């Protein structure tokens, strides 16, 4: 056995040379973000004012919360198309609770004179709806063995239907001031509250994925489910859990959205899934599973926000914006596929 230690040519090939491609793959979103911001700033000086930058962050914070949840799902090689509809349904639930229950939900007027169960119960209602919705989808995926794409496509329709049924045609608006502050207030008159919520949960999610056993299991299940099972991991439980987490963030996002608009309606959240998936994928999370970070997702979210904001400032129509988002998704996935083939060869 001793003589074999000198057996050098079958050993590892240490790769000391800086891997430019690997560096790019990791920091491309950040570099792209900086270039994009510099570009917009040169076209439109207003772009770089603190007011506008905080506005961008506030605009993206709800997408950002959803993208954090979506990162968990996509890391397991899953997808959730239902989040826009789930946001609408959870948002209506929170709104109804805030207004003092189902029967009072269309009362006009806000504040002390209207009945209310308080913002925290509203938050609980939204998150509860999200978590239960997410669990049902996770259950269908792991127990009924229906592919995530199909389950959540079904969810997309079902939750929207539930929202329309629940809203019975009208928006629910006018919440108590504490509730509204969560969406419209600023801490120290500067930092919008939704931005604080977004970044706080992003940090929490980063810690979970990076430092906990559960986070490690998510990467394992996404990277190679069979190897994960043969290593003693409970693949079904892990897979179900990411849809529950996605549901939690959908509920939280719905609650913040209600607060920001001081209103909830059944058509809220339409098309969110696309923007959110684009943010996650641009941030470097692989649709094939097992690769990605929350840091990347945060950058990806801001990148999309900056892009849309810049296009608005440059008077580009919202229709064109949709076209651009579509193209970006395809390009980001093309890049990911290329990176995956590189990983194999290396």
Partner 1 sequence: MEPLLRMSLIRKKFPGVQALDDAGLEVLPGEIHALLGENGAGKSTLIKILAGAQQPDSGTIEFGGERVVMVSPHDAQRRGIATIYQEFTLAPNMTIAENVFIGREPGAGFFVDWGKMASETRSITKRLGLQLQPMAIVRDLSVAEQQMVEIARALSMKSRLIVMDEPTSALSSAEVEKLFRIARELKAHGLSIIFVTHRLEEVMQICDRYTVLRDGRLVGSGAIADITIDGIIRLMVGREVKALFAHQQREITGDVVLRVEGLNRRGNAQDQNATVLADVGFEVRRGEILGVAGLVGAGRTEMARAVFGADAFDSGHVIIEGRQIHIRSPKDAIHHGIGLVPEDRKQQALFLALAVRMNLSMAAHRQILRWGVFIDETAERAMVEEFRQKLNIRMASPEQLIASLSGGNQQKVTLARWLALRPKVLIVDEPTRGIDIGAKVEVHNLLFEMAQTGIAVIAISSELPEILAVSDRIITMREGTVTGQIKREDATEEILMSMMTLTVKNTERNHGNID
Residues that bind partner 1 (CB under 8 A): 1, 3-5, 7, 9-17, 19, 21, 211-214, 216, 219-220, 223-224, 226-234, 286, 290-291, 343-346
Nearer to partner 1, 74 or 123 (CB): 74
Nearer to partner 1, 43 or 211 (CB): 211
Q: Which two tokens stand for residue 22?
A: 């690997």
Exposed/middle/buried for residue 99 (C-beta within 10 Å: 0-12, 13-18, 19+): buried
Cβ 69 to partner 1, closest distance in Å?
19
Nearer to partner 1, 181 or 295 (CB): 295
Nearer to partner 1, 76 or 82 (CB): 76
Nearest to 271 by CA among 78, 63, 130: 63
Query: To which H or E segment does residue 106 belong?
Result: none
The Cα–Cα gap between 305 and 194 comes to 14
Q: Would you tell me how many other CB atoms lie within 10 Å of the CB of residue 223?
A: 17
The Cα–Cα gap between 211 and 166 comes to 41
The Cα–Cα gap between 330 and 243 comes to 24
Cα 186 to Cα 110, 174, 334: the distances in Å are: 20, 19, 39
Nearer to partner 1, 98 or 240 (CB): 240
Nearer to partner 1, 65 or 339 (CB): 339
Cβ 128 to partner 1, closest distance in Å?
24
The full DSSP string for 50-88 is HHHHHHHHHHHHHHHHHHHHHHHHHHTT-----HHHHHH
Handedness of CA 333, 210, 226, 67 (dihedral sign): negative
Cβ 248 to partner 1, closest distance in Å?
17
Give residue for tokens 């949709």: 322
Handedness of CA 305, 307, 312, 317 (dihedral sign): negative
Cβ 218 to partner 1, closest distance in Å?
12
- Are 259 and 183 in contact by the 8 Å Cβ rule? The answer is yes
Cβ 245 to partner 1, closest distance in Å?
15
Nearer to partner 1, 186 or 229 (CB): 229
Nearer to partner 1, 98 or 286 (CB): 286
Half-sphere exposure of 236 (CA within 13 A, CB side): 8
């Amino acid at each position: 056995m001793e003589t074999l230690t000198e057996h050098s040519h079958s050993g590892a090939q240490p790769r000391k040379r800086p891997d430019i491609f690997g560096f790019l793959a990791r920091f491309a979103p950040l570099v792209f973000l900086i270039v994009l911001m510099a570009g917009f700033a040169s076209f439109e000086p207003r772009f770089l004012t603190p007011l506008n930058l905080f506005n961008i962050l506030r605009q993206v914070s709800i997408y950002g919360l959803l993208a954090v949840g979506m990162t968990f799902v996509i890391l397991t090689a899953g997808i959730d198309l239902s989040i826009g509809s789930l946001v609408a349904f959870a948002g209506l639930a929170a709104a109804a609770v805030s207004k003092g229950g189902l029967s009072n939900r269309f009362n006009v007027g806000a504040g002390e004179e209207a009945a209310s169960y308080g913002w925290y119960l509203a938050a609980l209602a939204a998150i509860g709806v999200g978590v239960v919705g997410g669990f049902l989808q996770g259950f269908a995926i792991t127990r009924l063995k229906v592919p995530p794409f199909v389950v959540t496509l079904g969810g997309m329709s079902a939750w929207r239907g539930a929202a329309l049924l629940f809203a019975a045609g009208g928006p629910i608006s006018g919440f108590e001031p504490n509730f509204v502050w969560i969406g419209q207030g600023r801490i120290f008159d500067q930092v919008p509250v939704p931005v604080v919520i977004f970044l706080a949960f992003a940090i929490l999610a980063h810690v979970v994925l990076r430092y906990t056993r559960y986070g490690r299991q998510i990467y394992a299940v996404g990277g190679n489910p069979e190897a994960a099972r043969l290593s003693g991991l409970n693949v079904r439980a892990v897979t179900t859990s990411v849809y529950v987490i996605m549901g939690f963030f959908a509920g939280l996002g719905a609650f913040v959205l209600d607060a920001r608009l001081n209103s909830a309606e059944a058509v809220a959240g339409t098309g969110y899934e696309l923007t959110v998936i684009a943010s996650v994928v641009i941030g470097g999370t692989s649709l094939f599973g097992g690769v990605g970070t929350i840091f990347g997702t945060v950058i990806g979210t801001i990148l999309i926000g900056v892009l849309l904001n810049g296009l608005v400032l440059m008077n580009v129509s919202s229709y064109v914006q949709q076209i651009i988002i579509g193209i970006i998704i395809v390009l980001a996935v093309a890049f990911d596929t290329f990176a995956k083939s590189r990983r194999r060869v290396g």
